Structure 1
């Protein structure tokens, strides 16, 4: 049975354009996978703790020596990695906040990037271990794609590729604070989703 992992991060709820693009993708995916399941990880609704020195200490402490608090910290990443590995397809929806991703999504990325689990170091450099297809759904108030101000989409693509995920496509709705131009951009991005699945 096919499984889709959807990761949402916008703070705008149902008004979020990145979420609405992901909605369209999920609907299309479910139509083609009627017996498939969708797992939703909403890092805005349930934010993860930020990656701190305590997190790092827990990860580098041998399992048998971890305190109860350290075991709880490591368990957060364990759950997220297990969820990721169980999926066949990954969909990431993210707005652009201050030229980059929401901090809630960054925390998620920090927890799933674990040497030996989702990537490994080799003599030729790091190699991703998560072999799955991924799609990105992005929205911003102005048109930032392919400009020096867009530190979001290139970063998300780089991160996912680092873990071994194959980014099949990115659907970007820029200009969402710019009236008719933004409406056209959103309609264009949404229209392309039909062809992607």
Structure 2
């Protein structure tokens, strides 16, 4: 089993999402011995924002890409191949200004390639990156999940659920720690809940794997 560990927080060692993704990867590896882990730090290795040169993979047959297109295509190919090779993806996704970090969005833009992660048919889009598990570690300074106004304001979990679903991934699990900026008591409560969710996500996957093996 291959696991891709992706962090996107810009806060380094002060990041709660990084702390929790590390815990999620450790818990998954403990419950799934032999898991091969590959790490991608998007704060340190962010691809350039999506631009025209990154569309070089859509050139007409026989057309020669420019040097810039070749360079950007190589970046996209490396990232999409890494993503497709993974069975499990653990993604650290802090809430920045009601959405995800731009570094994380730049990564997703490189993954969204027709013929690789999705395709269009006469019935509409079809995801091609099926059979994967995605665990999203969602961190937030405020609390958004308990009110209609909060849920309408966040474009973090809602976006990631849609885009991974568009890629054909139906097993998307969220480990949420919110209210982190609302005092130490609330932060401790949020971290405790997130830790429980991490344990539950890994345990459910292990049980599903055992059921498949018996079947």
TM over 0.5: yes
* Residue of structure 2 in register with 1:154 after alignment: 158
**Aligned positions of 1:180-191 closer than 5 A:** 180-191=185-196
Give the secondary-structure state (helix, strand or coil) at the position aligned to 1:165.
Answer: coil
In structure 2, how many angstroms separate the alpha carbons of the residues matched to 1:159 and 1:95?
16
CA 1:63–1:135 in 2, change beyond 3 Å: closer, same or farther?
farther
* Residue of structure 2 in register with 1:196 after alignment: 201
* 1:122 CA drift (Å): 0.6
| Cα deviation digits, residues 85-144 of structure 1 (max 9, x gap) | 111111111100000000000000000000011100011111110011111101011112
Could you tell me which runs of 5 or more consecutive residues in structure 1 were left unpaired when the two chains were aligned. Answer: none
In structure 2, how many angstroms separate the alpha carbons of the residues matched to 1:73 and 1:46?
14
In structure 1, how many angstroms separate the alpha carbons of the residues matched to 2:182 and 2:166?
34
CA contact (8 A) 2:9 2:18 kept: yes
* Residue of structure 1 in register with 2:40 after alignment: 41
* Residue of structure 1 in register with 2:168 after alignment: 164
CA contact (8 A) 2:164 2:172 kept: no
Q: Is residue 173 from structure 1 mapped to residue 180 from structure 2 by the alignment?
A: no
Work out the number of aligned pairs and report it.
195
Give the structure-2-normalised TM-score.
0.86
* 1:181 CA drift (Å): 1.2
In structure 2, how many angstroms separate the alpha carbons of the residues matched to 1:73 and 1:177?
38
**Aligned positions of 1:48-197 closer than 5 A:** 48-56=47-55, 58-62=56-60, 64=62, 65-131=64-130, 132-145=132-145, 147=150, 148-179=152-183, 180-197=185-202
In structure 2, how many angstroms separate the alpha carbons of the residues matched to 1:69 and 1:103?
22
In structure 2, how many angstroms separate the alpha carbons of the residues matched to 1:141 and 1:113?
29
Could you tell me which runs of 5 or more consecutive residues in structure 2 were left unpaired when the two chains were aligned. Answer: 203-215
Give the secondary-structure state (helix, strand or coil) at the position aligned to 1:104.
Answer: helix
* 1:151 CA drift (Å): 0.9
Backbone CA RMSD of aligned residues: 1.4
Of 26-35 and 112-121, deviating more is 26-35
CA 1:168–1:67 in 2, change beyond 3 Å: closer, same or farther?
closer
| Cα deviation digits, residues 140-186 of structure 1 (max 9, x gap) | 11112352211111001111111012234201111111111122012
Which contiguous aligned blocks of 4+ residues in structure 1 show a shift greater than 6 angstroms? none
CA contact (8 A) 2:59 2:65 kept: yes
Of 128-137 and 139-148, deviating more is 139-148
